[in-house]
Structure 1
């Protein structure tokens, strides 16, 4: 099969069947970090299919681009790709994929710019409303983290994080009064897990892709699942250090009343499920199972590259 049709077919399968399988996977709640990795691999593989298809359609449409792409390639490699295609179709395909690439880049740039502006505004507001405590205060785990704790005067028990070069962990006085010491430690560990894992980057990419391609099922599900899985991953990070019970109790206490938006907000309707999951304490998947899932995710990324280079490699054999 020609590389271009194969890439288009693979991209279609990945963008339609892949998200549905991952969204229904029962193992995702037991391994949220691995599930996040699998989602990223699926999205990268789909984008690779589109990017490589852009390169091949561009080479088919314009001889100059083809000469540049295959400059220095051994004899017979270019012929193995079956160029030229019907020029009008090749030009239309290249234009379509190029528009998609530009939309993705613009949406990601706009999302990053908006997120940075929002973080700077919130940090300025916090600086006016509350003093900063010394670094490490509230970190009883001895992890030596560099995040700064900010206490905000508010009767509602809330906690959230502001990621960035000068990350902030924000708790209200209501949370300090309502939570026990261990529950407070669990809350801070949860927010610290978001900051250290750079979950805000992942959320920004998911939002940008959904904005750039509104209505595309893979990106809609990617945004929804990432928002849920980062919370589960942060829950696990807190539970490993301070116990599942303390983390579950802190979740209940912090979601009894509406409050300010968090860096990785979760719908109130999802909190009971998160609490039940923590209290159930299901064991992790076996190492062999995790390894198989990791290899499968990597195979999804490698498949578009294998299809794109297969004709050329076959010509060299």
Structure 2
């Protein structure tokens, strides 16, 4: 029973330490895409620890599960795990972890269902405000212009994705700024940031007491915007996208001495106007490789008995 407990301890330590270390890293704002990768690797490691602990505990509690988990393993490997000695608590631990996995899946399904319901509602409202013309066929990159005084632009995902912009934004933005805003929204779509937000929200809502999941959700909402800003700025320049953000948000109270949510807009503008130098390619490669190794640690821990026998 020591191996499942060691995996759970590793998951607990990672879940407690990561939210204290990662948000304070100085390079995250300089490399938001890399920061997104690091956070995903950390959360994957926590989930992997729990999944491996569940599988080993279930294998120790029930012969049928053991036959599936160690179906193709040599006899010596099975004996190395000493599954018969896991004791009566193995079934309880496996059951609790299985319930946690089922709860995670339910939260993700609920999050996706709620998001799709919101998208269907917004799509229906959009069709009322901007009905499709006779003979007009849906196009994947169709741009929809809505009448509205408030300057705004957003990406509406779904089976027929749409880029939506209001007439208020068309009046506020010049051509280059509008193209930069649309490139920002297309950056979200190409990177599938909506799925990152769904997964992070599902974990945070399903397990509100786990610090790493709450920090994961908060950081995803921040980093996906920075990554999309960088996507747009590479094509149209940082000044262009910064000015576009100001034009779209200056009437919403997000600037000034007492900004109101979403106050991170002002931080995004400051970042665009005063960019810090990017990390060197070698440094980025090292961080990418180090992050990729984080989920490997629980795998190595789980396979230590087997590796000893086979080695």
Q: TM-score, normalised by structure 1?
A: 0.90
- Please provide the CA RMSD for this pair: 2.1
Instruction: Give the aligned partner of residue 206 of structure 2.
Output: 212
1:115-143 residue CA offsets vs partner (Å, 9 max, x unmatched): 112111111111110256999xxxxxxxx
Instruction: Give the aligned partner of residue 257 of structure 2.
Output: none
Instruction: Give the aligned partner of residue 202 of structure 1.
Output: 196
| Partner of residue 234 from structure 1, selected from 222, 228, 251 | 228
Instruction: Give the aligned partner of residue 32 of structure 2.
Output: 32
Structure 2 counterparts to residues 73-222 of structure 1, below 5 A:
73-131=73-131, 146-222=140-216
Instruction: Give the aligned partner of residue 311 of structure 1.
Output: 305
Instruction: Give the aligned partner of residue 23 of structure 1.
Output: 23
Whether the 8 Å CA contact 1:161–1:192 is kept in 2: the answer is yes
The whole-number CA distance in structure 2 between the counterparts of 1:169 and 1:252 is 20
Pair 1:269 & 2:234 matched: no
The whole-number CA distance in structure 2 between the counterparts of 1:207 and 1:128 is 30
Q: Secondary structure at the match of 1:29?
A: coil
Residue correspondences, number:
303
The whole-number CA distance in structure 2 between the counterparts of 1:281 and 1:308 is 43
1:59-82 residue CA offsets vs partner (Å, 9 max, x unmatched): 111123223322332121111112
The whole-number CA distance in structure 1 between the counterparts of 2:161 and 2:91 is 47
The whole-number CA distance in structure 2 between the counterparts of 1:132 and 1:171 is 16
Moved over 3 A (4+): 131-135
Instruction: Give the aligned partner of residue 280 of structure 1.
Output: 274
Q: Secondary structure at the match of 1:203?
A: helix
The whole-number CA distance in structure 1 between the counterparts of 2:95 and 2:110 is 22
Instruction: Give the aligned partner of residue 60 of structure 1.
Output: 60
Q: Secondary structure at the match of 2:291?
A: helix
Query: How far is the alpha carbon of 1:274 from its aligned partner?
Result: 0.4
The whole-number CA distance in structure 1 between the counterparts of 2:176 and 2:86 is 67
Q: Secondary structure at the match of 1:257?
A: helix
Whether the 8 Å CA contact 2:57–2:86 is kept in 1: the answer is no
Structure 2: state its 5+ residue gaps.
254-259
Q: Secondary structure at the match of 2:160?
A: coil
Whether the 8 Å CA contact 1:132–1:151 is kept in 2: the answer is no
Whether the 8 Å CA contact 2:181–2:244 is kept in 1: the answer is yes
The whole-number CA distance in structure 1 between the counterparts of 2:158 and 2:271 is 30
Whether the 8 Å CA contact 1:61–1:85 is kept in 2: the answer is no
Q: TM-score, normalised by structure 2?
A: 0.92
Query: How far is the alpha carbon of 1:12 from its aligned partner?
Result: 1.5
